[in-house]
Amino acid sequence: QVQLVESGGGVVQPGRSLRLSCAASGFTFTTYAMHWVRQAPGKGLEWVAVISYDGTNEYYADSVKGRFTISRDNSKSTLYLQMNILRAEDTAVFYCGGSYYYDSGGHYLQIGNGIQYWGQGTLVTVSS
């Protein structure tokens, strides 16, 4: 069955770095754009970043641009999020998600089409 397993979360001081990983299995990883979505405690979902199926294109929310870097290793079916210069407001559960790269009409979508697969999330707490 489909599994996305995030890891790497924890408590980190403001200004420091953290790297999240998301191991995928049970689906053809190379046909999915992959996203990171976060959810601050008691708050709604916030899209963070996406990487195209082949890793050639990355897009970021304004709130993380220049601080976070999304990447993937298709040989390992693994997604990453390198988070630098962390702030208290980055405290959240981070979910990875997979989005098929074609729409129902067969059109290619760089950022995919609806996030079909979700991990269970990993908590990142930024605190001194």
Partner 1 sequence: QSALTQPPSASGSPGQSVTIPCTGTSSDVGGRNYVSWYQQHPGKAPKLMIFEVSKRPSGVPDRFSGSKSGNTASLTVSGLQAEDEADYYCSSHAGSNNLVFGGGTKLTVL
Residues within the interface to partner 1 (CB under 8 A): 35, 37, 44-47, 50, 57, 59, 61-62, 95, 103-104, 109-111, 113-116, 118-121
Q: Which of 40, 14, 15, 44 is nearest to 94 (CA)?
A: 40
Distance from C-alpha of 17 to C-alpha of 90, rounded to nearest angstrom = 11
Nearer CB in complex with partner 1: 60/80: 60
Nearer to partner 1, 116 or 127 (CB): 116
Closest approach of Cβ 83 to partner 1, in Å?
A: 18
